[in-house]
Structure 1
Amino acid sequence: MTASSSFSSSLQRRRFAAWLALGAASPLLPALAAAPFPEKGRTIRIVLGLAAGGASDAQARFVANKLGEVLQTPVIVENRPGASFILATEEVIRSTPDGYTFMYAPSSVVAQNPQTLAQVRYDPFKDLTPISLGARGPLVLTVHTSVPARTVQELVAYIKANPGKMSYASFGTGTSSHIYGEAFARQAGLDVVHVPYKGGADAAKDFLAGRVQYYFDAAPNAIQNTATGKVRMLAVAAPKRSPMLPEVPTMGEQGVSGVDMPSWLGFYGPARMPAPVVEKLNAALAQVLAMPATRDFFRQGAYEAESSSPKQLAELTRSTYDQWGDIIRKLGLVKQPQ
């Protein structure tokens, strides 16, 4: 048996054991549904598959602080970086579905990773419970200032004049920043090198140092990097301009199509969460995300705080998964090892 198949079998056994413990062989599920939620003083964990200090981490911590006030119980953020959010997702999937552990995750976790990464063994539609949308915001094409390009067209011309000499960063193989980079290269006929990192923080270090020349980055990080004077924003990868970055044109406006999918983040728990618990969390998150302080904080990073019903998030997950699937198939991308 290979290491991969052994891991898969082990994960399947754990899931089956969890199902037995929580399902027909145990009264625990009815007990979870009947128990008051949350128990006063019991800590709720929001798992994040990124290192501390990034924009998504800041959003998660801001929400956790406000959510703790609303629910009157401690809410903390637990960072589990690595493997394009796979470690964090599996941590949530393995947790007891009682509402005390859930994650804040970008759309790539449910819409792209299962279609692009060979070691993803979770099913986003069977192994997770949608709770609420959290935020929407674009990725931004940024370029290091060592590259004399101020528009997408100028960047294309510069890369073509230096074939094989330029590279672009991504915050992980199979993520939106990678797929956008690949789609851009295919559309424009570019000879470039993809350099994947284990998250935005690692990518930013090399990007700011000029070791990689351009990067489709999350808007909050793009704004922070641009403030250093070492980076320029060339375009937003979205169907229309961001209200928070009105001066930055879209990729489509600059002649590059197919790189216009909006990005979002959502809250997901493990499968089989009791409906009353999901409803309580959903209502509390809706209250937090509607607060003027929350909306102002998110807008500083060109993101819009936005809640949804669990059903709406489930539908958004499915539609985004299908849309990314079309792009992935058109590009001919196959599942990659991490």
Structure 2
Amino acid sequence: MSTRRTLLACAVPAVLAAYARVQPAQAAPAGNSFHDFLTEVRTQAKRAGIASATLDRAFAGVTPNQKVLERDRHQPEFSMTWARYRTLVITDKRIVDGRQAVAANRALFRRVQERFGVAPGVIAGIWGLESSFGTGTGDFPVVEALATLAWEGRRAAFFRGELLAALKILDHGDIAPAGMTGSYAGAMGQPQFMPTSYLRYAIDFDGHGRRDIWTSNADVLGSIANYLAQSGWQDGQTWGQTVSVPSGFAADGRDARRPLSEWARAGVRPIGGSWAASPDTPAGIVAPDGTGGETFAVFGNFTAIRRYNPSDFYAIAVGLIGDQVLA
């Protein structure tokens, strides 16, 4: 596993989670004005059954957002080690804030776990990384941001699909255009769902008739749990744990799974206690900074977290934050 990674700042500036090498932005296609683009989208949306009144409200006053273009065109590249990433995202303040958030919503976490079989720790870890427990959700108008990126052309097909999904959300009545805010790239609300993820996973957990991932903690936590449950989270199992390995041990990564008993025979030992799973549990050994760095045994639920965000750094941080918040 590489000891250096390229870090792309996530939608919420405080969360450094998505890894990709930045591609240079392209200008909007010649001759395709923003007005013409919106006209095309209106036609496509109407064919998909979205009401004209919804489109009128959604596109009222929408223009190319220069701040969105600046963010998209000037995303910084960082070479980031796990040790540095860990220092940035697993802070004392985040752990304290997480404990307070869990304490304030303890009954809600219990109801969510009863329904979805997803442990409070992993939900809290995602909630904390994505929006600092709801305190940093982004203030870009989602329709305008997505329209700008879909028109600009660098990832036009992707953002056009997300824009149409956002229009479906508005047409359903879950949120008004003014309340549909998020990151410059269209990630919405406290769980930072893209619109297509919202359509798949967001739920109305508090039963108020709308899937409100902006202001309803019940819908936020329920939606995160639903995402993980549909991604294969196994109730009663953990994500992984920190381990020690013999000198010179080469970790083969999350996909090279063996029973814990085999890793134990190879000299892998849990740090700070006993194994968090039974001896026959398949586990991969991940050393995100390479040989000599911090090392983890990761189980099946690690894969479920990676379906929320495919970065190993992110998934480990979610697990560690959750463990510390509940400690």
TM-score range, shorter chain: under 0.3
- Say which structure is richer in strand: 1
Q: TM-score, normalised by structure 2?
A: 0.24
Q: Which has the higher contact order (CA 8 A, sep 6+)?
A: 1
Q: TM-score, normalised by structure 1?
A: 0.24
